[in-house]
Copies of this chain bind each other. A is one copy, B any other.
Amino acid sequence: MNVVFEDRFWAPRARLMAEEVIPHQWKALNDQIPGAEPSHAVENFRIAAGEVQGAFHGMVFQDSDVAKWLEAACYSLQYAPNPELERLIDEVVELLGRAQRDDGYLNTYFTIAAPDRRWKDMSFGHELYCAGHLIEAAVAHYEATGKTNFLSIARKYADLIRREIGPNPGQRRIYDGHEEIELALVKLYRAAGDESYLQLAKYFIDERGRQPSFLLDEPTFGGAYKDRWFHLDYHQAHAPVREQRTAEGHAVRAMYLYSAMADLAWLTDDGSLKDALFRLWDNVTQKRMYITGGIGSQEHGERFTIDYDLPNDTAYAETCAAIGLVFWASRMFRLDRDAKYADVMERALYNGVLSGISLDGKRYFYVNPLEVHPPTARFRHDMQHVKTERVPWFGCACCPPNIARLVASLNRYVCTAENGNVYYHLYAGSRSEFEVNGRSVRLAMETDYPWDGRIAVSVECAEPVSFNLFFRWPGWADEADVSVNGEPVDARGALQKGYIRLAGEWRNGDRIELHFPMRVRRMAAHPLVRENAGKVALQRGPLVYCLEEADNGANLADIRLSADPQFRTEFRQDLMGGIVVIRADGYRSDSEAWGNALYGEYSGRLRKTTVTFVPYAYWGNRQPGEMTVWIRQQERG
């Protein structure tokens, strides 16, 4: 299965990754960007390899920045061959090889700074987390280049882990405080074909949450805070994973765990694991997720809180957590082939993930609030995590290379081909090539998604081939007009768990047309979401919209939509590379009548205004200012 974007949304972003972001991040990892927080990540490997003198600098998981960058760079080679980049990748891989200990161990922090702490700080050492990222990068490298040198490094390390950690006598019966190794081992199993890696992943999943937890005995447990927000549930270690019913703790950790659980449940057909996943899925997506697909609403612990607690202006909604939700959602599909997973994947991707990176690819949000009032966010102690503008890099730089590796591999999330079934989860102008029932087929998709819901798919194949084509009926679409070679199809009748199933013998030149009309939808939140009471958010297609001060002036909180707003949409090529803007009628308070009083009798005096919405993912790409996703909605009593 290979998908190449050829549209004006993802293709330029994939190019941006290859041409700008990956080279730019390499500079960041080498401390070559003026004004950006230093990384030292590559230098740590040189020190660990004994090639330069120096001390370890950065987070204990600084290695993972290099690994994620390598993974992203390898993905980019697949659609943007670049011999110079490939040479650079080879150099880095060789450096990793030199930094690897003889026994296979490969972690610069523990090698340089804490050699006596190996496997002793599972709570916050991120040792297996870093190992997981190295493994993911190695698998990507193998897939992109066919070379096995990086894969060998990863296997050597994984073999060490398998020997030293596990449930058997003489082994350490531990797991990592930050999940990641689990899903990486599944990838390694699939790339290397060695089932022991799958077994090791299963051990980690089965072991997590066994009580009493060994984590409690570690001096590092609780991190710097030692409070209840950094307790076992922070690590999803408060109960065996199969018994967990609500999404708890650090949101990125949870997503990586659930992703691995989904892999395992699929590969081992583990019913109790599936049941746990279905419950956790419902809890996250029905009670603990922002409309942007952002998750983890509290800064302290970067974590889930309680059902329906989704504050907009103090939101954490880490970019990496939304990325993790994409990982998890894409894996959930395999468990029961329901379009609801891709609906959430699409929501997170087009909103809470993309908001994490500027249009030029050089600045990032770590935290993705749904409402920002800059003077307040700058002053308030409880909003210090909220940045009012994207920044060039972070001391804790997990998000930038994470978004790079996701966007550079996004072609892998578009569709799934297996057992004579081809599922389209995402829509984008693209060319897909795959084998089905032993035949090679190409599908050319034309669409201006996400700006327009018209999609045309042309079949290219040397000879007729029978297979089922499934197209996701997006959760946001009321209607679907579908035709095959001009003949209307009863889309509703063809619906199978949210996918429109088109069975048949496909011939070269067959043309499928789908139209999911993109109406502007006023979305409300569940009545138990206190923060959004009385408010709506606009969504058009997969894009959640927001108001920015640049278009609407200051004091966005004062603006409300009229009771029956007429929405006017316009594609503005001149704005931020081309976006659909939404306009509607609304009202503001008659502020001038107020004078100086802080409180006064309610007058209800309003004046009309035009409200302008832009996609949330695009906010903060013009001058700094206020932003809000949720806007008050006048209602008829």
Contacts and interface: CB of A to CB of B under 8 A. Distances in A.
Contact of A314 (B382, B533, B596): B382
Contact of A229 (B282, B305, B381, B525): B381
Given A300-B382, A380-B305, A602 B633 contact: yes
Contacts of A604: 563, 633, 635-636
A598 B587 CA distance: 27
Given A305-B379, A381-B298, A555-B527, A534 B598 contact: no
A637 B287 contact: no
Interface string A372-412: 01011001111000000000000000000000000000000
A168 interface: no
Interface centre among A229, A606, A634, by most chain B C-beta atoms within 10 angstroms, is A634
A562 B637 contact: yes
Contacts of A530: 373, 376, 555, 557-558
Contacts of A229: 381
Contacts of A525: 598-599
A621 interface: no
A163 interface: no
Contacts of A298: 380-382
A71 interface: no
Contacts of A589: 527
Interface string A480-495: 0000000000000000
B594 A526 contact: yes
Of the four ranges (under 10, 10 to 19, 20 to 34, 35 or more), the interface on chain A belongs to 35 or more
A224 interface: no
A597 B563 contact: no
A351 to B, nearest CB: 12
Interface string A407-428: 0000000000000000000000
A575 interface: no
Contact of A598 (B287, B309, B555, B632): B287
A173 interface: no
Given A298-B381, A381-B298, A376 B309 contact: yes
A601 interface: yes
Interface in A597-637: 597-604, 606, 632-637
B526 A381 contact: no
A373 B305 CA distance: 14
Contacts of A299: 381
Interface of A: 229, 282, 285-287, 289, 291, 298-301, 305-306, 309, 314, 373, 375-376, 379-382, 521-530, 533-534, 536-537, 555, 557-558, 560, 562-563, 587-589, 591, 594, 596-604, 606, 632-637
